[in-house]
Structure 1
Amino acid sequence: MVHSLVSLCARKVVSDHSSSPTWLRWVPRELYGALLEAAFACCRPLSVGELVQRWPERTLRVGGRRKTGQTTPSRLCIQALLLAVVRGLADQRSALQVLDVCGLQGDEGGMGDPMGGWSLTVALCTMVIQAKAGAHRTQRKEGDRERKRFSALERERDLKRERGQRTGLKELKDDETCREKTRSKSPVSDEELIKGVRRRMEMERKRGVVGTASGSKLETEEKETDWEVLVQVRADIFVNARSWDRVRLALSTSGPLKLQCRYLRVEEISVTSIRTLLNLLPRRTLLGIDIRYSSLGVAGLAELLPLLSTFPELNSLRLHYCNLDIRRDNLGQEGALRDLSQGLSNLQELRQLSLTALRLPGQLRVLLSSLPQPLEVLELPYLSLSPADLAYLSCSHHVSSLLQLDLSENCLDETMVPSIRRLLCQASSSLQHLSLSGCGLTDGLLGMLLSSLGGCWALKSLALALNPLSRAGLCELMRTAARMPCLRLLLYPNPLEDYQPGLPELPSSTQLLEWPLDESIDNNTTGNELSKVIMDSGRSDLLLTCDLLNFDKDMVD
């Protein structure tokens, strides 16, 4: 990776934190971004804190897709960032109004100790709650100062009143002496004396009313606090059973920091808890929801969908292992399916749908036909798809708009080949990512699909891992892949010849995953042979891999 001159200078500047007081005050606002990026790259949390605390721009974005060679910020740097945001609330030099950390989540325990999505969510919620507490303490101190000032004014007023009363008594004595001397000359009537007493009493009453009104106003200002949101915090929120209370408290807290959610991922929490979270989220910021390992059932999902339809920009719905199983003989199942279909029909902006291991054979038409807009991303792994499901999908209104299709771990046979070929033909001009991993594709089945695969001229990545293919079948696959102009990444399975003896004739994907490879065979033999086929075809831009764990289709985007 080649660094620019500005980047190299920024790395040098942030490397010595002791010198920051001498240069930070002179840095132009245009260089803050380069310095912050260098502080992240060099893991300088103190520099991160000082830069963020006096951030000169209205918006600070940290996250999103990383550049090539760019690492995820370390845990210490992210913690310094969040602490500096709270400190910057009271710093007049900070112009920050929007903190965007969407996409910042890293993998727990990854290289460089990044902060994972669950930890980052808890840290963000803690930051919001602490900012509210700090603002409350500041307001309370200001209230104490105001009360002290008011008390001082009251004491001064009482002193003046007391001095006035002493002066009045002296004057009264002089008046009495004077009246005694002149009583015979100018007598004072009782009516005039009563008027004087009434006037003094009225003045005292007015002073008492004014003092009481001022005290009541001060108490009302303390009780009725109208918090001004100083910084909007946009993030992807990950919630599980352990962090649910903290997230709920942060979302319901009104203070100087306001937490907004772009993508919500929930895991192992109930329908009631999910509904509570959704009711706390701002309606116009949520783009997607990912529900995992929660026992929703068809009825539970049907209950959530009307609430999801109130988010006008929701375009992604992902359901993983949520116990939607209609093969069980449950009463009211058909009615729940109708409710589910009706709820999906109200998701006007939905473009991405992922259904993992929901066991809904024969019900794909019920789910997809009700969607008002064609999907761009459709993931259906472990769904036990039937021939009727694939037949519907191949001629549905979604197929010509699909950019990404995942049919992995659905057992395919010869009866489904015509539907798959029709599907690939209809999606040939749009489909960019296709996964058929673990589908039981043998040399013969794959041979029937190669011509259709070769016609997908927009395809960028193709995943065929855990299929029982021989080395000869893989070579045929490589020749077809070499003729696909946009293909940049191919995940291929280990050939059957590379496994230890004893593997069944038609092994399942689970057996291929768990069966040991033959250590006597060089692991690079197959890779070198396949790479030679690609190179002989004149393709040097096609990446071949059999590494299932590190396969990432986003590398070609």
Structure 2
Amino acid sequence: MVFPLVNLCAKEVVSDHSSSLGWLDCVPRELYRPLLEAAFTNCRLLAVGELVQRWPERTLRVGGRRRKGQSPPNRLCVQALLLAVVRGLSDKRCALQVLDLCGLQCEEGGVGDPMGGWSLTVALCTMVVQARAGAHRALRREGERERKRVVVCVRADLLVNARSWERVGAALGTTGPLKLQCRYVRVEELSASSIGSLLDLLPRHGLLGVDISYSCLGVAGLVLLLPQLSMFPLLSSLCLHYCNLDICRDMPGQEGALRDMSQWLGQLGQLRRLSLTALRLPGHLRMLLSSLSQPLEVLELPYLSLTPADLSYLSCSPHASSLQQLDLSENRLDESALPSVRRLLSQASGCLMHLSLSGCGITDGLLAALLPSLSCCRGLKSLGLALNPLSVAGLLDLVRTVVRMPSLRQLRYPNPLEDYQPGLPPMPSSAQLLDWPLDELVEVHEATSLQLDRVVMESGRSDLFLTCDLLNYNKDLVEQ
């Protein structure tokens, strides 16, 4: 009962800004954290600013994993925090040396108007550049003797695109009272040369992940970047989404470039997460993954045009028995791939927590053959099977199986074929299932939901969440 009482008192204290000058001078340092959290929760901008400006500890962490039901700080509160950090550089009461904002950014326009990744990146970089300019003005005006000698390290996740690249480059290349450090960087729609310039500016230690999206790299461009990535000793996550790596087309020298790519991937000694989306590399999974020095824990391969040979390699590879998260979405599975998928699930059964087989063309027959292997994954927390051509009978068999999997908390299932309007092809693709209109009668969908809910209720699994909505699901659970 102590913490709720502290939080209640903190809320009352920060609510009256007129009295802040009185209580700030006598508040013990251990109460600054609950006071700041109360100021964030209740959007008390002036209280945020005054607390941060005289922060009594070496480190201030804002962001990261939030408690259940806790919302991220409002963007106005984040702006007030950043302004206060700059003011605190000249405030002798401020002991701040490390500002950790990793994990703070949210989706733009989310609940409570949090600050999105691009907005936070621009605001941070602006703060770093302005702090340097302010320090130079103070130096000219007051001399070196009057300046605070401590450099504040600012740790954050950055989102860099063509609109923010110049600002980010200026901040990373700035020497001043604020030093920008990066944990995860996401790059969108930049050329290979611009991404290379960005990597040159990032500090070598501290970078854990790189996400390159919607950038026209090609295999040759990626081969140029991988040697630079190998210079970051802690890099554990590499994500490449829609980067135009397509070797379905016969292009001279591309096979050799792919071998070079594999060789440099092998230089990433700490790599544990590899995500490749829509790279269209059929038949080359062995070449890509066999060079890795350590088994992967997260492997995401959606829209990769995987072949039965690729799946056969993966099921026998060292990665199979260490995978905690696997995404094979939009790779069409058939009878020829079934033995490999079953073997893969068997190898991963002891560690696999999150599995997505959405849009894989899984029919009732294929599902029936996969269910015994799925049920052996006793630690599975989330399962995605959306956009597969299943009937109501197939869905009922699926739910009867998953309710006996004690760790499972979330199932994303497809709308059954019976719920669509007439005219759907006998073996529809995931794109057809996505675009084809559902039956206009609400009773049709409700009947399906009632049948599935009845199975869950009769099993006593109140902790299992079922949804056919592609967007309405708990992303936090998937990322755990």
TM-score, with structure 1 as normaliser? 0.84
**Would the aligned equivalents of 1:306 and 1:343 in 2 still touch at CA under 8 Å?**
yes
CA distance in 1, matches of 2:143, 2:298: 55
- 1:549 maps to which of 453, 471, 477: 471
**Would the aligned equivalents of 2:245 and 2:280 in 1 still touch at CA under 8 Å?**
yes
CA distance in 1, matches of 2:162, 2:256: 30
Aligned partner letter, 1:238: L
Aligned: 1:395 with 2:326 = no
What is the match of residue 158 of structure 1? Answer: none
Aligned partner letter, 1:94: C
What is the match of residue 112 of structure 1? Answer: 112
- 1:427 maps to which of 334, 348, 364: 348
**Would the aligned equivalents of 1:227 and 1:255 in 2 still touch at CA under 8 Å?**
no
What is the match of residue 89 of structure 1? Answer: 89
Q: What are the Cα deviations for residues 264-319 of structure 1, in whole angstroms up to 9, with x where unaligned?
A: 10000011111111111111110000000111111111111111111000000000
Structure 2: unaligned runs, 5 residues or longer: none
**Would the aligned equivalents of 2:92 and 2:148 in 1 still touch at CA under 8 Å?**
no
CA distance in 1, matches of 2:363, 2:3: 48
Aligned: 1:407 with 2:328 = yes
CA distance in 2, matches of 1:344, 1:548: 33
Q: What are the Cα deviations for residues 352-386 of structure 1, in whole angstroms up to 9, with x where unaligned?
A: 00000000000000100000000000000000000
**Would the aligned equivalents of 1:302 and 1:343 in 2 still touch at CA under 8 Å?**
yes
**Would the aligned equivalents of 2:277 and 2:302 in 1 still touch at CA under 8 Å?**
yes
Aligned partner letter, 1:421: R
CA distance in 1, matches of 2:426, 2:332: 16
CA distance in 2, matches of 1:334, 1:25: 68
Q: Secondary structure at the match of 2:105?
A: coil
What is the match of residue 243 of structure 1? Answer: 164
- Alignment of structure 1 residues 44-443 onto 2, 5 Å: 44-143=44-143, 230-443=151-364
Aligned: 1:527 with 2:430 = no
Q: Secondary structure at the match of 1:458?
A: coil
CA distance in 2, matches of 1:45, 1:238: 25
Aligned: 1:23 with 2:34 = no
- 1:501 maps to which of 422, 430, 440: 422
**Would the aligned equivalents of 1:296 and 1:324 in 2 still touch at CA under 8 Å?**
yes
Q: 1:145 to 1:346 in 2, by over 3 A?
A: closer
Q: 1:51 to 1:73 in 2, by over 3 A?
A: same
CA distance in 2, matches of 1:63, 1:528: 39
Aligned partner letter, 1:439: C
TM-aligned CA deviation for residue 3 of structure 1:
7.6
Q: Secondary structure at the match of 1:4?
A: helix
TM-aligned CA deviation for residue 142 of structure 1:
2.3
Q: Secondary structure at the match of 1:422?
A: helix
TM-aligned CA deviation for residue 540 of structure 1:
2.1
Aligned partner letter, 2:341: I
Specify which structure has the higher proportion of helix: 1
CA distance in 2, matches of 1:483, 1:119: 44
TM-score, with structure 2 as normaliser? 0.97
TM-aligned CA deviation for residue 249 of structure 1:
0.5
**Would the aligned equivalents of 2:362 and 2:390 in 1 still touch at CA under 8 Å?**
yes
TM-aligned CA deviation for residue 554 of structure 1:
2.8
**Would the aligned equivalents of 1:228 and 1:255 in 2 still touch at CA under 8 Å?**
no
CA distance in 2, matches of 1:65, 1:490: 23
TM-aligned CA deviation for residue 538 of structure 1:
2.9
Q: What are the Cα deviations for residues 32-54 of structure 1, in whole angstroms up to 9, with x where unaligned?
A: 10011111111111110010000
**Would the aligned equivalents of 1:229 and 1:258 in 2 still touch at CA under 8 Å?**
no
CA distance in 2, matches of 1:365, 1:279: 30
Q: Please identify the structure whose Cα radius of gyration is greater.
A: 1
**Would the aligned equivalents of 1:499 and 1:518 in 2 still touch at CA under 8 Å?**
yes
Structure 1: unaligned runs, 5 residues or longer: 147-225
Structure 1 window deviating more from structure 2 (229-238 vs 54-63): it is 229-238
TM-aligned CA deviation for residue 512 of structure 1:
1.3
Q: 1:392 to 1:104 in 2, by over 3 A?
A: same
What is the match of residue 536 of structure 1? Answer: 458
CA distance in 2, matches of 1:342, 1:518: 51
CA distance in 1, matches of 2:132, 2:143: 16
What is the match of residue 33 of structure 2? Answer: 33
TM-aligned CA deviation for residue 507 of structure 1:
1.4
Aligned partner letter, 2:224: E
**Would the aligned equivalents of 2:208 and 2:234 in 1 still touch at CA under 8 Å?**
yes
CA distance in 2, matches of 1:531, 1:5: 40
Q: Secondary structure at the match of 1:347?
A: coil
Taking only the aligned residue pairs, the percentage that are identical comes to 72
Q: What are the Cα deviations for residues 154-191 of structure 1, in whole angstroms up to 9, with x where unaligned?
A: xxxxxxxxxxxxxxxxxxxxxxxxxxxxxxxxxxxxxx
Q: 1:6 to 1:524 in 2, by over 3 A?
A: farther
Aligned partner letter, 1:511: Q
Q: 1:555 to 1:55 in 2, by over 3 A?
A: same
CA distance in 2, matches of 1:231, 1:88: 10
CA distance in 1, matches of 2:477, 2:265: 32
Aligned: 1:456 with 2:405 = no
TM-aligned CA deviation for residue 552 of structure 1:
3.2
**Would the aligned equivalents of 2:403 and 2:459 in 1 still touch at CA under 8 Å?**
yes
The count of corresponding residues between Structure 1 and Structure 2 is 477
CA distance in 2, matches of 1:520, 1:29: 61
Q: 1:456 to 1:141 in 2, by over 3 A?
A: same
CA distance in 1, matches of 2:298, 2:227: 22
Aligned partner letter, 1:524: E
**Would the aligned equivalents of 2:382 and 2:477 in 1 still touch at CA under 8 Å?**
no
Aligned partner letter, 2:83: L
Q: Secondary structure at the match of 1:67?
A: coil
